[in-house]
């Protein structure tokens, strides 16, 4: 027997802040233009180099916007989780762009070392201050203006953890599952993150014979789903219910 629990419209963490992404794109684009023009006019390689960094940021934000649109598409038979993992590929592409920009800046710096140029420090400083203020504005958009309803738990689920979703202690999950009436034990417990803000979990749950004979497995599944959703913020769970006698047919139990 198996059961499945999930919300009907799961969304990625990035998708929850699409409007903020649009505002941030506008801010970083204005900074990018100012730094390119200011760097070329003042002769400051530092401004041009930072413009390259801002270009990577802007590109990353645009890619994130595109990715959230693709990630929001419904699942298909071929892609059962839809295109939610496209956000991870987008982050990888942006990382490659940042490396390419860093190489270009290094080469340009070597050329400047061999052939120094005069720099207009006043213009460079003005543009740099504008860029710093714009960065503070972007920081405020993403950090300081988080809605009250999104607490620490919601923030924790936005980033994948090293081996399982951040903030999810599998030992605690196992303890909670074992405390549900009718549950004898749990094994093959796995949790992972499909993409930012979409944690999933699967487990083999052993239930007692009285629960099966009394037709209470549906109640157990409901309680399992409620437990994982309320206590661990995991809405997409798959459980396989097994009778106690099935233990002998299982391979060595995993954690």
The pair of three-digit structure tokens given for residue 163, joined into one six-digit string: 């081996």
Confidence of residue 9 (pLDDT cuts 50, 70, 90): very low
Q: In what order do the strands lie in the sheet with 2-5?
A: 2-5, 236-243, 199-207, 183-193
Helix (H, G, I), strand (E, B) or coil at 201: strand
Mean of the per-residue pLDDT values for the chain?
Answer: 75
Q: Which residue has the tokens 């203006």?
A: 145
C-alpha to C-alpha distance for 83 and 85, rounded to whole angstroms: 6
Where do the domains of the chain lie, and which CATH numbers do they carry? 15-145 (no CATH), 159-249 (3.30.70.1350)
Could you report the per-residue pLDDT of 144-154, keeping only the tens digit for each?
555 444 443 34
Query: Which of residues 252 and 47 earns the better pLDDT score?
Result: 47
Going by C-beta distance under 8 Å and a sequence separation of 6 or more, which residues neighbour residue 140?
none
- Residue 134 CA, chain-centre distance (Å), reads 24
How far is 250 from 241, CA to CA, in rounded Å? 13
Q: What is the pLDDT of residue 220?
A: 92
Give the pLDDT mean for 183-202. Answer: 83
Alpha-helix residue ranges (DSSP H) falling in 72-151: 86-114, 121-139
Helix/strand/coil percentages in the chain, nearest 5: 60, 15, 30
- Of the candidates 16, 34, 49, 30, which has an alpha carbon nearest to the alpha carbon of residue 138? 30
What are the tens digits of pLDDT across the range 132-143? 888 888 778 767
């Amino acid at each position: 027997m198996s059961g499945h629990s999930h919300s009907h419209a799961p969304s990625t963490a990035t998708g929850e802040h699409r409007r903020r992404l649009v505002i941030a794109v506008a801010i970083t684009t204005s900074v990018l233009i100012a730094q390119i023009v200011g760097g070329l006019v003042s002769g400051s390689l530092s401004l041009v180099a930072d413009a390259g960094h801002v270009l990577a940021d802007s590109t990353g934000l645009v890619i994130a916007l595109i990715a959230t649109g693709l990630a929001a598409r419904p699942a298909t038979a071929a892609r059962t989780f839809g295109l939610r993992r496209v956000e991870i590929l987008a982050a990888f592409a942006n990382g490659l762009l940042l490396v390419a920009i860093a190489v270009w800046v290094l080469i340009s710096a070597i050329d400047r070392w061999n052939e120094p140029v005069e720099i207009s420090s006043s213009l460079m400083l003005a543009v740099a201050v504008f860029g710093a203020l714009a960065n503070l504005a972007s920081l405020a958009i993403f950090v300081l203006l988080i809605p009250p309803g999104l607490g620490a738990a919601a923030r924790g689920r936005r980033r994948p953890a090293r081996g399982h979703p951040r903030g999810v202690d599998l030992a605690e999950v196992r303890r909670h599952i074992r405390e549900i009436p009718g549950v004898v034990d749990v094994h093959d417990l796995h949790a992972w993150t499909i993409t930012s803000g979409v944690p999933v979990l699967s487990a083999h749950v052993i239930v007692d014979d009285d629960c099966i004979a009394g037709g209470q497995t549906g109640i157990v599944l409901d309680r399992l789903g409620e437990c994982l959703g309320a206590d661990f913020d995991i809405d997409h769970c798959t459980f396989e219910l097994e009778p106690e006698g099935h233990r002998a047919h299982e391979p060595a139990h995993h954690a």
